[in-house]
Chains A and B, each alone.
Chain A
């Protein structure tokens, strides 16, 4: 069974540009989560989807971040326009039901110059 996959693995962009990160959860997992680790800080929750609906987006830092999960399968996280402080590692995780273990992808390393 394939695990959680994320694309791209690395992205280097300039301040003001737009970047879109993609996450493919484990097949059949209704719950999808985004987390972020900014340099030197702890990993922090961004938001949670149940199928295509946003269950909790309390961790989204500001309105430059837009997450979608059309059709309840893969999810995208768009940052527009990117700022220097957006640099970090963006993790995606999925679980079959809410109380089950969250399985993480390898992360996307974003560097904003």
Chain B
């Protein structure tokens, strides 16, 4: 079985300050991990994914995440927030092999103030 816990439902930051969105996972299998973002009235967009290669994964728009097996975490970070980063972010886990049914966290809404 697999599950994801996003520890914060809302995160507020000021423009130009660092972003940290926290995610813990549970998986009976070797996992693949993803972060997706959804801007208002848009589809879910893949930010980055981990599939058992390098543990530090770089994504689009300056985001990155580090896979820490010992802590079962996959936190999303960005050094400096931009107003356009305001959106809802989803941490997602799936099996690393075979059929990839995605299991989503409940989402974290990121608010960026000027």
Residues of chain A having any CB pair with chain B under 8 Å: 3-4, 33, 35, 41-45, 48, 55-56, 59, 91, 93, 95, 98-99, 101-107
Chain B nearest CB, measured from A43 CB (Å):
4
Number of A-B contacts (CB under 8 A): 50
Contact B102 A35 (CB under 8 A): yes
Interfacial residues of chain B within 44-74, with CB under 8 A of chain A in the complex: 44-46, 49
What would be 26 A-B contacts, judged by CB atoms less than 8 Å apart?
A: A3-B43, A35-B102, A42-B104, A42-B105, A42-B106, A42-B107, A43-B90, A43-B107, A45-B101, A48-B99, A55-B99, A56-B99, A56-B101, A91-B44, A98-B99, A99-B97, A99-B98, A101-B46, A101-B49, A102-B46, A102-B100, A102-B102, A104-B36, A104-B43, A105-B43, A106-B43
Give B97's nearest chain A residue, CB to CB. Answer: A99
